[in-house]
Amino acid sequence: MNFLLDEVARATLRLAEAGVASPRTDAEELAAFVHGVRRGELHQVPDSDFDALYWECVARREAREPLQHITGRAYFRYQELQVGPGVFVPRPETEIMVGWAIDTLRAMDVADPLVVDLGTGSGAIAISIAQEVPRSRVHAVEIDSDALAWAKRNISNSGHGDRVTAHQADMLSALPELDCSVDLLITNPPYVPTDDSGQIPPEVRDYDPGPALWSGTDGLDMIRELEGVGRRLLRAGGAMAIEHGDGQGIDIPHLFPEEAGWRDVRNRKDLAHRDRFVVMRRADD
């Protein structure tokens, strides 16, 4: 057996015993990171003494430090993003919501759609929309200065900085100059109930920024507030998408009632076929 792959197998066992959810994938990603290759290229690495740095990385992951903090990178749709302490690590589940948003924008009869990403974190959502909807103009809002620094770095590196503008602001009061003009509003807000803190994996609980996670005893405090934000920012016929947690899909549609001007409120599913985000639109004039 290739010596490197043998070591990866040993690392996989260690990570599995530590409770890491995807031990093989993480062991391979760490090996690829250390050797400067992609996961699919590991078989090309020469059979030689394995770098001690690998086992340092494995030990950090074994202690449940996030993989993305160790490698300094996260993948989201077609982007490789820089991430680390102080910023929420983007999740694959959010890619499905972004895909819906991109399809929705493409279907709009709007030449240069105006998009707002609230709580942008690393900038993953904003950058993906700018990349895949070439004429879009995206405003990325983030209140935390550490997270905003990561977002600005990723926006600059993406090559789409001419169409993505980062703002340091509270998502509830941001961008009053855009009131009633936004074509699509999208957000992955905090939605973890404070009562669930003991059930959250340490990679999330101990490393993701608290303000990006917790949102009251039922996790819906911020989403309740977003109903008013959507009414303020969206134009007539504009669309909104909000990510939410497991079990919250049944409650959220009631927060966007028809009498408040909301239409087509629907839950959408993630890769595991669980309700993951809710979508809706403002009533036409």
Sign, CA torsion 133/134/137/141: positive
Residue 171 lies in a domain: yes
Report how far residue 33's alpha carbon sits from residue 43's, in angstroms, rounded to the nearest whole number.
14
Residue recorded with tokens 């980062």: 166
Residue 119 lies in a domain: yes
For residue 122, say whether it is annotated as part of any ligand binding site.
yes
Residue 163 lies in a domain: yes
Tally of domains within the chain: 2
Residue 71 lies in a domain: no
**What pLDDT is stored for residue 48 in this prediction?**
59
pTM of the complete model: 0.93
Where the chain has pLDDT below 70, the residues are: 1-4, 47-50
Per residue in 206-234, is it b (16+ CB within 10 Å) or e — as a string? ebbbeebbbbbebbbbbbeebbebbbbbb
- Same domain, yes or no: 136 and 243: yes
For residue 165, say whether it is annotated as part of any ligand binding site.
no
- Same domain, yes or no: 57 and 88: no
Report how far residue 32's alpha carbon sits from residue 191's, in angstroms, rounded to the nearest whole number.
33
The CATH number given to whatever domain includes residue 178 is: 3.40.50.150
For residue 119, say whether it is annotated as part of any ligand binding site.
yes
Residue 70 lies in a domain: no
- Same domain, yes or no: 141 and 46: no
**pLDDT digits over 61-102, tens only?**
999 999 999 999 999 999 999 999 999 999 999 999 999 999
- Same domain, yes or no: 46 and 143: no
Query: E-strand spans in the chain?
Result: 73-76, 79-82, 114-118, 137-142, 164-168, 182-187, 234-243, 262-269, 275-282
For residue 190, say whether it is annotated as part of any ligand binding site.
yes
Residue 266 lies in a domain: yes
**pLDDT digits over 3-30, tens only?**
667 788 999 999 999 999 999 999 999 9
For residue 120, say whether it is annotated as part of any ligand binding site.
yes
- Same domain, yes or no: 58 and 83: no
- Same domain, yes or no: 13 and 126: no
Residues 6+ apart with CB under 8 A from 216: 193, 194, 222
- Same domain, yes or no: 152 and 104: yes
- Same domain, yes or no: 57 and 83: no
Q: How many CA within 13 A on the CB side of residue 84?
A: 9
Please state at what angle helix 145-158 crosses helix 124-132, rounded to 10 degrees. Answer: 20
- Same domain, yes or no: 10 and 123: no
Range of the domain at 238: 78-282
- Same domain, yes or no: 206 and 270: yes
**What pLDDT is stored for residue 51 in this prediction?**
76
Residue 235 lies in a domain: yes
- Same domain, yes or no: 52 and 95: no
